A and B are shown apart, each in its own frame.
Chain A
Amino acid sequence: MMLSLSPVTFAILYFYQHKGKDTEDQYLNLAKYSNRLIRAGKLDKKKSNRHSSAGAAGIYTSIELQHAQDGEEKEALESIAKRRAVIKDSWDFYRMICSLLRDKHKYDEVFRKMQLDPVYPYLNSMTGLNDPGDDQSSPNRENVDKAVMQKDLPQYIRMTKLEMAKDLCRKAEETMPSLVEICKALAGSLGIEEVGVGPVKDPRTAIKKADAKYNGDLLKCTDYCRSLLVVKDFPSLLALLELARDSFGPLIRRVKMSSLKSDQNPKPGGYRDCIINLELKDHICEIQVHLWPMWSVCGIDGFRHYRHCVEYNTDSFPDPFDSLDGLDRKTRAELIVMAEEAVVGTPLENLEWYHEKHILDYFAEVGLFLKHGLDVWAETTLKQLIRLRTESPDIGPDHHETIVLYKYLAQSLRKQGKRKEAEEAYEKVQEAGKHLQLLLWCNGCFVLQWLAHFIFYFVPQRIAAPKNLSKLRRPCGII
């Protein structure tokens, strides 16, 4: 374990030896840590050699000492391995936070563009059916007083929670064929992009969900039997709603489209969709209607993104690098080593715009550099990332992701005293803000909420560290 760490560490130390004492000091903790590991290994070897070369009388002692030293060495290696595992978990976790926030901003960007659709003001003026909107006071923003529920049967009084969940799942199984038929009909008429059905919710998952969202009330779970439809755009959604109303209107119990409204919050993690609940065979089913531009950001993994965003409360802070606040220098240095290991296979200069995984690795590493005061490294990486994002046909120079990179670049340049270059980078950020305002003015869109977020997040003078960082929950034992 120690050997696998040292080449990278040595490379970094070598770099620092050639960059002068000041920079070397910056890296003090990592150097100390790595040297201690290496020295410990060498000393153990020397000691064991000395003992083994002793005379016959010393053999017994030597063996005894050897055992003791083997034990110590083993223990030391074990503790190194444990520490390394913790650092690896921390790196993976931090990288995930970066990816969650990246995707959240992608959703925001997509929704901003979607609002430019000429039919959006009409859709935005519509009210759903039995849709209470989002509830900020509730942890998962789902209203606990849900208007649409499963039928409460007399036998449920005598049943345990698990038995009740199993019964509801059984009913869902029975209802599934009818829901499939309805989805097939809708998809056939509208030429829907993607259709998916089921599987029926697992009873234990249902109990977990009911506990988390509805104070344990299983009857409030309305997605035991569920399906998904992906429509092309807002006009297709309007057509689907009309078709649903005309074809099976009396069966519709709820149309939840509040997350698609400009004055309402998205779901945790930035996602927005429309949910239709139907009553089929005395059982409430769910049809999730997704919009292709939103859906295409994460695809089927969108649910995992949502779940993680809820779990780690990522909506409480806009900057992924804030999740590094409170880490000591040593841990940050160890994380940099881990980051270097992650990117070692793809050097920065070999990176292409489509190497999304490695771009994320390098982006996460930039956060560590910035927090660790390694601004030269941050600058080098950021310049390359900006070039890649600019080259990307899906992103380009004016995309919010590129602008965010400019913001960090300006930070790193300013810290190095490169004022002129920093100003130039800030100008890019401010230009993007002005451009957005102009766009909104011209289109008369209702995206003020997004604009407010944009100003908070992108314009450097107004950036402040979020006060509720403690809401970021980290898995036990990590960092």
Chain B
Amino acid sequence: MMSAPTEALEMIMDPNKKEREEEEHVKKEVRASKKQWRKIRQERFQFLDSNMDTLGDEKKDGR
């Protein structure tokens, strides 16, 4: 539903605006969430990095 004449014009000029804005909003939210995960990962699951290091060493050693 359109609430203003400018909105009607916008609909003609850029019909996918709403969808695009929504998508951008979701992307932004996912980015913020990923940041949160990194923080939690650092606090609670630091061993995951050491696990990666061990795996990296194993690969270097050819194990």
Q: Are A120 and B52 in contact (CB under 8 A)?
A: no
Q: Which residues of B contact A189 (CB under 8 A)?
A: 47, 51
Is the CB of B16 closer than 8 A to any CB of chain A? no
Instruction: Give bound CA distance, A232 to B39, whole Å.
Output: 17
B45–A122 touching, CB < 8 Å: no
Among the 9-residue stretches A7-15, A238-246, A433-441, the one with 4 or more Cβ atoms under 8 Å from chain B is: A238-246
Contact between B33 and A119 (Cβ–Cβ < 8 Å)? yes
The 0/1 profile, CB within 8 Å of A marked 1, for residues 33-45 of chain B is 1101100110011
Complex contacts, B32 vs chain A, CB 8 Å: 118, 121
Is the CB–CB distance between B55 and A246 below 8 Å?
yes
B:1-59 near A, CB below 8 Å: 25-26, 29-30, 32-34, 36-37, 40-41, 44-45, 47-48, 51-52, 55
Q: Beyond A121-B29, A122-B36, A444-B29, is A235–B45 a contact (Cβ under 8 Å)?
A: yes
With A235-B44, A239-B41, A239-B44 in contact, is A122–B33 under 8 Å at CB? yes
Complex Cα distance, B52 from A247, in Å, reads: 9
Are B51 and A119 touching (Cβ within 8 A)? no
Provide the bound-state CA to CA distance between A212 and B40, in Å.
42
- Tell me what chain A mostly uses at the interface: helix, strand, loop, or mixed: helix
Say whether B36 contacts A239, CB under 8 Å.
Answer: no
Q: A residues within 8 A CB of B55? A: 246-247
Known: A189-B51, A246-B51, A246-B52. A239 touches B45 (CB 8 A): yes
User: A125 contacts which of B30, B36, B41, B44 (Cβ < 8 Å)?
Assistant: B30
Interface size class on chain A is: 10 to 19
Residues of chain A lying within 8 A (CB to CB) of residue B41: 235, 238-239
CB distance from A379 to the nearest CB of B (A): 42
Taking CB atoms and an 8 Å cut-off, the chain A residues in 112-168 that contact chain B are 118-125
In the complex, chain B residues whose CB is within 8 Å of the CB of A235: 37, 40-41, 44-45
How close is B39's CB to chain A, nearest CB, in angstroms? Answer: 9
Give chain A residues whose Cβ lies under 8 Å from the Cβ of B44.
Answer: 235, 239
Flag if B37 contacts A119 (CB, 8 Å).
yes
**Minimal beta-carbon separation of B17 from chain A (angstroms):** 19
Shortest Cβ distance from A232 into B: residue: B44
Chain A minimum-CB-distance residue to B56 = A246
When A235-B40, A235-B44, A239-B45 are in contact, do A120 and B51 touch as well, CB less than 8 Å?
no
Per the bound structure, the CA–CA distance linking A122 and B41 in Å amounts to: 13
Partner of A118, one of B26, B36, B48, B51: B36
B48 touches A122 (CB 8 A): no
Please indicate the chain B residues that have their CB under 8 angstroms from the CB of A190 in the complex: 45
CA distance A125 to B26 in the complex (A): 9
Among B25, B36, B48, B52, point to the contact of A119 (Cβ < 8 A).
Answer: B36
Contacts of A121 in B (CB 8 A): 26, 29-30, 32-33
**Chain A proximity of B24: nearest CB distance (Å):** 13
B26 CB contacts on chain A under 8 angstroms: 121, 125
Contact, CB under 8 Å: B51 / A122: no
Chain A residues with CB below 8 A from B37, complex form: 118-119, 122, 235, 238
- What's the minimum C-beta distance from B60 to chain A, rounded to whole angstroms? 15
Q: Interface readout for A183-213 with B: 1 if CB under 8 Å, 0 if not?
A: 0000001100000000000000000000000
Contact partner, A243, options B33, B34, B51, Cβ 8 Å: B51
Nearest chain A CB to B55's CB is how many angstroms away? Answer: 6
List B residues at the A interface (Cβ < 8 Å).
25-26, 29-30, 32-34, 36-37, 40-41, 44-45, 47-48, 51-52, 55
15 examples of A-B residue contacts, CB within 8 angstroms: A119-B36, A119-B40, A121-B32, A122-B37, A123-B33, A124-B30, A125-B26, A189-B47, A235-B37, A235-B40, A235-B41, A235-B44, A238-B41, A243-B48, A247-B55
Enumerate chain A interface residues (CB-CB to B < 8 A).
118-125, 189-190, 235, 238-239, 242-243, 246-247, 444
7 additional A-B residue pairs with CB within 8 Å, beyond A122-B37, A235-B45, A246-B48: A118-B33, A118-B40, A119-B37, A122-B36, A239-B44, A247-B51, A247-B55
Nearest first, the 6 A-B pairs at minimum CB distance are A121-B33, A122-B33, A118-B36, A239-B45, A119-B37, A125-B30
